[in-house]
Structure 1
């Protein structure tokens, strides 16, 4: 076997999972609800604004979808002992990690693209204009956010030897990188700012703390939106500050999001290569 063979087999296994179908259906239903409510509101329907509302909610739910689909990809095999069977075939540990990363990433991306495909059909039926460039850009960024959390979940799964540890690691990462980052004044970074500036009186720049917050894949996703939305919607999306330093630019946020696709998976592979599988 090879990376391709592992990915193909795992893709077929994941495709049969009821949980994947359930979360896919729920996300598609969420898309339908947002586009329906948007076209029946008191103001003229606007696809761009509906996409912005959808992604605001998606920042909470999409990481859950990705983590749910992936966290047992390798940890489950290790706990059940089936990992030995995979390695008894002509597979390397790299084949297993990368193959499962590719398969789970393909499933996650498919979930997002199908949901956005449904949204595109509804936009054509219910809205004055589809805004195809913006629509495609938002869909692409959403796929990248999904793949970032797939990479994280693969890393956690590869680095842990049991279902419980993989679940705990995934839940912990979700809270730290997502729920505890979304609201600036109640985030982990705000607590760090209170300690460093409020208690120790170091006088560090607010921009520095905002950059630390942008290291979260969810916040990087949000901050990259000016790259794909019209300029008149930009302030509505991210409250852009024209005086902000270059390291807070949307291009930097996009680069951070891309880094999340690669670095966690590489670290997971490194840890998996060192693990004693018994």
Structure 2
């Protein structure tokens, strides 16, 4: 019950500080505006969805902006959750009550998750209303799955930020490390993986390989990258998120590597759930262990 008490207080504090309203407004503007743009300005399909119902073009068109905006919302929701209390000294008052440090970390995580989830759900509900008016029909079950996995994807960055908030004594350090993780996976992961290939190959590039773009996988000189390369690429939360969407939608939306019985299990779409689960657990546990040993 102590954990839930901390969570309720954290959620109430977020509402009073207007952070929830700001997050909801931001995501409503994004989700509603992007949906209207795709449905009414871009002709409904968003491109690249020949042979599929036009509404599925909406899903594809939203993927890229979601993988940028949602992680940032997650980071901004979580990074001050615990370290802010440490800097103000209120964490000592919180721990003077019948709350353990585990209650604080778990309660803060639940409270910030609720704040984040409300923002995403409201934004997707507005987008669903716009899409229903624009398309006249709507795949409600698939859209619900899309919404759920978007929340889980954003929670990866929120939980990491909470873990950093628990592990450090400075809000700026927690913020910049969390933003650094976002930048690594959003902008640098491909280059990092390709650099690993270059190192593993004896500081030289394999045939049909570019340090900037990776293996050539199209055209008449198509090359299939080794499984380990694709596994490391799939550890990116964005790649795992898109893989999970591939298991939700009945149509082939080409979110990842085409599925085959010959593929190893760690390259199949369902393994994206495992990757996201690892990202949801490990940073939080490490942050808690650091917080539990800290001198407050």
Q: TM over 0.5, yes or no?
A: yes
Q: C-alpha separation between the residues in 2 aligned to 1:70 and 1:225?
A: 25
Instruction: Please point out which of 192, 196, 203 is paired with 1:199.
Output: 203
Measured after TM superposition, the shift of residue 20 of structure 1 is: 4.0
When normalised by structure 1's length, the TM-score is: 0.89
Unpaired runs of at least 5, structure 2: 46-53, 208-224
SS at match of 1:90: coil
> Any stretches of 5+ residues in structure 1 without a counterpart?
none
Q: TM-score, with normalisation over the residues of structure 2?
A: 0.84
CA gap of 1:44–1:122, structure 2 versus 1, over 3 A, is closer
Q: How does 1:226-237 map to 2 (within 5 A)?
A: 226-233=246-253, 235=254, 237=255
The offset of 1:223, in angstroms, is 2.0
Q: Which residue of 1 aligns with 2:110?
A: 102
Separation in structure 2 between the aligned mates of residue 44 and residue 20 of structure 1, nearest angstrom: 31
Alpha-carbon offset, residue 197 of structure 1: 2.4
Task: State the alpha-carbon separation in 1 of the partners of residues 241 and 3 from structure 2.
Answer: 29
1:189 to 186, 193, 213: 193
Per-residue Cα deviation, 1:79-134 (whole angstroms, up to 9, x for no partner): 12111111111110001000000000111111111111111111221113211121
Residue 198 and residue 48 in structure 1: after superposition, are their counterparts in 2 closer, same or farther (change >3 A)?
farther
What does residue 14 of structure 1 align with? 14
Match of 2:219 in 1: none
Q: 2:100 aligns with which of 92, 102, 115?
A: 92
The partner residue of 1:164 within 172, 175, 189 is 172
2:279 to 252, 256, 260: 260
Higher percent of residues as helix: 1
Q: Answer whether contact 1:109 1:146 (CA < 8 A) is retained.
A: no
1:3 aligns with 2:21: no
Does structure 1 conserve the Cα–Cα contact (< 8 Å) formed by 2:157 and 2:178?
no
SS at match of 1:23: helix
- Aligned-residue CA RMSD in angstroms? 2.2
- 2:269 is aligned to 250
User: Is it true that 1:64 corresponds to 2:72 in the alignment?
Assistant: yes
Q: Bigger relative contact order, structure 1 or 2, given CA contacts below 8 A and separation 6+?
A: 1
Distance 1:42 1:103, change over 3 A: closer
> Does the C-alpha gap of structure 1 residues 95 and 56 become closer, same or farther in structure 2, counting only changes over 3 Å?
same
